[in-house]
Amino acid sequence: MRVAAVDLGTNSTRLLVADLDDGRLDDVVRRLKITRLGEGVDERKSLLPAPIARVRNVLVDFRREIQELGAERTLLVATSAVRDAENGASFLDEVERSYGFETRLLTGDDEALMTRRGVASGRELDAETLIVDIGGGSTELTLDDFHVSLDIGSVRLTERFLRSDPPTRDELDAAARAARDALPDVGPRTAIGVAGTITTIAALAWAMNSLTNASSRTVGSSESTLYLEAATRFAKGSRRLYGRSATATRSRSGSRSR
């Protein structure tokens, strides 16, 4: 059976089409588009017309590809931006009517537990391994017997604190304090990071270490801080080029990071 899933996030919209056979998923196609649906939601508590238009344009393309590939069922899941918006439910109703997708609005707990389930698929997870999912609107942390969803996503913190381009040291420090104040004291043995923020840091690590043919898939906390510090010195346009270059280098090396 061929199925499709659309992940409607605060910063990006993703598509997965896969063949489902006896509980196993074999990817057919993956797509990612930066749509920033959560733009302005933290302040206004509403999905704005421009972000909605960006998402709708992407959904038109996704629906066309889903139909061409013959998926029998499509599920669209929405997360932090739609949860926080007063018009979020009506937007999902509109998506169902316009595109024929089944929709589901995830709670923060849903996000945390589904992320851990996804990471654990096909691998053994130590009970003390922390799963970290930094999204645009929220961050989910899960251990074997603990999970939490925090309102400290990358888009949310950017809109609250980072007014300059590039951001000033005071702005960066204020954002860091807000994140630290929100984080629980969980003390994991190891951590696995997922989603765009962490994979971008990993891509930067691979790019900077490409000349040494680094083979490790682990990026330490001090190393991550170094790459983030370097990235914050660029203006927005340069950061985009910097990130694309790093991703391209990682793709050419055939590396996968965690």
Q: Please report whether residue 258 resides in a domain.
A: no
Give the pLDDT band (50/70/90) at residue 233: low
Looking at the structure, do residues 211 and 133 belong to the same domain, yes or no? yes
pLDDT at 178: 94
DSSP secondary structure letter of residue 134 = E
Last residue of one domain, picked from the residues 106, 141, 158: 106
pTM for this model (two decimals): 0.80
Kindly state the percentage of the chain with pLDDT values over 90: 59
Kindly state the percentage of the chain with pLDDT values over 70: 79
**Which domain covers residue 39, as residue numbers?**
2-106
Residue that is written with structure tokens 């381009």 in the block:
165
Q: Which residues pair with 2 in a beta bridge?
A: 19
Q: What's the sign of the alpha-carbon dihedral 190, 182, 113, 224?
A: negative
Tokens at 52, concatenated: 């909605």
Q: Which residues pair with 120 in a beta bridge?
A: none
Residue that is written with structure tokens 């053994």 in the block:
124
Looking at the structure, do residues 141 and 234 belong to the same domain, yes or no? yes
Amino acid found at 70: G
Give the pLDDT band (50/70/90) at residue 232: low
Looking at the structure, do residues 119 and 245 belong to the same domain, yes or no? yes
Looking at the structure, do residues 217 and 129 belong to the same domain, yes or no? yes
pLDDT digits (tens, 9 = 90+) for 187-227: 888 888 888 778 777 777 666 554 444 434 555 555 556 55
The sheet with strand 139-143 has its strands ordered as: 146-150, 139-143, 129-134, 190-194
Q: How far is CA 34 from CA 213, 214, 241, in A?
A: 30, 29, 15
Last residue of one domain, picked from the residues 48, 74, 106: 106
- What's the CATH number where 13 sits? 3.30.420.40
Q: How many domains would you assign to the chain?
A: 2
Looking at the structure, do residues 92 and 124 belong to the same domain, yes or no? no
- What's the CATH number where 212 sits? 3.30.420.150
Please state, in angstroms and rounded to a whole number, the distance separating the CA atoms of residues 136 and 195: 10
pLDDT digits (tens, 9 = 90+) for 137-163: 999 999 988 999 999 998 999 999 999
Looking at the structure, do residues 233 and 249 belong to the same domain, yes or no? yes
Q: Which helix (H) or strand (E) holds 88?
A: helix 88-99
Looking at the structure, do residues 68 and 47 belong to the same domain, yes or no? yes
pLDDT at 199: 78
Tokens at 102, concatenated: 């089944």
Looking at the structure, do residues 119 and 19 belong to the same domain, yes or no? no
Last residue of one domain, picked from the residues 86, 106, 126: 106
Looking at the structure, do residues 241 and 114 belong to the same domain, yes or no? yes
Residue that is written with structure tokens 């951590």 in the block:
191
Average predicted confidence (pLDDT) for the chain: 83
Looking at the structure, do residues 27 and 101 belong to the same domain, yes or no? yes
Average pLDDT rounded to a whole number, residues 172-187: 91
Looking at the structure, do residues 117 and 236 belong to the same domain, yes or no? yes
pLDDT for 244 beyond 70: no
Looking at the structure, do residues 22 and 93 belong to the same domain, yes or no? yes
pLDDT for 250 beyond 50: no
